[in-house]
Amino acid sequence: MKLNLLAFAIPFFLMFMALEYWWGKRKRKKVYQVSETIANINVGIAERLSDILTTGAFYFFFTWIHENFAIFQIKASILNWALLFLLTDLVWYWYHRFGHEVNLFWSVHVVHHQSDDFNYSVSARITVLQAIARGLFWSVLPLVGFPPHMVTILLMIHGTYPFFTHTQLVGKLGWIEYILVTPSHHRVHHSSNEEYLDKNYGDVLIIWDKIFGTFAKEEAVPKYGLTEPLKGYSFLWQHFHFILEMIIAFKRAKGFTQKCKILFGKPDNIDPRIRTYLEKKLASKNKKYAASDALLDIIKIQTVFTLVILFFTILFSDQLTMTLLCILSLFIVLSVIATGAMLEQRRWIFHLDYARLVLISLFSYIIYPHQYVAIIIVIILAFILVFYKSLNNQYHNIIYRLR
């Protein structure tokens, strides 16, 4: 049986998150907040899920570029591996810098900087749109002539190393600070302090920031998150708020030049009042009840359950039919939307949970297509539909008023 071993990245990263949480408690430093961590993991769940499609797709994309357009034919050697490492890191630097200085790229990168925490869970905040943008930048490597297998291996390194720079618990590392990107450097990058804005774009090597004048040393205590904090934990709002801001700003802009500034200018070109306008229309208005410990416990259980489903979906992705893979993927996406909605105590989570129940029922019937299974499923789903409004109200009252 062929297994997708990328699934084991999930327990690997979760183990280090748990160690960081434990070490923070031991040092009496609070580095994890429940709501922030859930929101971070939700984004990471969606990204891991998207890897099932994007990893293979980009390998074929790199292969197509290499076979049809490669300028040189570069063979694997120690020197060429070293050269590829340097070029990969350089391309990352410019992708990352464009991701902060060009609105079109910031719209997919902003999600990574939304958390007010700074810990290993923040490294999970990578969206599928960001992965696509990053892959397009990296396509220059097979175009130069590096074989796709070499590029893919280096990309795995670039996907792993930055995880360990997202922590407050590692201080400065002496002479290493002059060569590699360290947690100290990356704390600066994630800071919203004015003196730290648009600094330290490097991924593995810090030398590019020093060469191109974007380096800053950690001196003042960093304040993490966006300069204007995002209100809410909604999975959808986190992903699409800046895209919506750009759309409105683009519509309001007069003339070709102004519209180009909205797309290719800096985030400063977007009127901040647009965010306020959108938050009033779309952000959660339910502030009556603060999230109780019991509600947070339910959300934690749901998140763990979703992670388990994700792990086995990726592990057996090569064995699953396309239908089953689509059902499981949709279930996972609805799950992360649901937990974000529960954090904001939204009134429409019952609809999401009913949709998830339908997906579970469909999955069960495909796995075990027996007439009695079908009858039980139809009875349960029909019963809920008949008493839908009443059950919806009771569900909200139970979930959101638990103490």
The yes-or-no verdict on residue 263 having pLDDT over 70 is yes
Q: What is the pLDDT of residue 285?
A: 55
Strand, coil or helix: 198: coil
The yes-or-no verdict on residue 158 having pLDDT over 70 is yes
The yes-or-no verdict on residue 126 having pLDDT over 90 is no
Percent of all residues in the chain with a pLDDT value above 90, rounded to a whole number: 69
2-12 pLDDT, tens digit each: 888 889 999 99
For 221, which DSSP code? P
User: Are 70 and 76 a contacting pair, CB within 8 Å?
Assistant: no
What average pLDDT does range 324-339 have in this prediction?
94
Residue in the block written with tokens 């509600």? 295
> What pTM was estimated for this model as a whole?
0.89
- The dihedral over CA atoms of 114, 46, 40, 238, expressed in degrees to the nearest 10, equals 30
For 255, which DSSP code? H
296-328 pLDDT, tens digit each: 889 999 999 999 999 999 999 889 999 999 999
- Nearest residue to 237 (alpha-carbon basis) of 189, 273, 270, 281: 281
Higher pLDDT, 283 or 47: 47
User: Are 123 and 162 a contacting pair, CB within 8 Å?
Assistant: yes
Residue 111 identity:
V
The residues near 217 (Cβ < 8 Å, ≥ 6 apart) are: 188
The yes-or-no verdict on residue 374 having pLDDT over 70 is yes
* Rounded Cα–Cα distance for residues 53 and 50 (Å): 6
The residues facing 205 across adjacent strands are 180
The yes-or-no verdict on residue 284 having pLDDT over 90 is no
User: Are 359 and 330 a contacting pair, CB within 8 Å?
Assistant: yes
| 148-160 and 34-69 helices, crossing angle to 10° | 160
* Rounded Cα–Cα distance for residues 183 and 293 (Å): 32
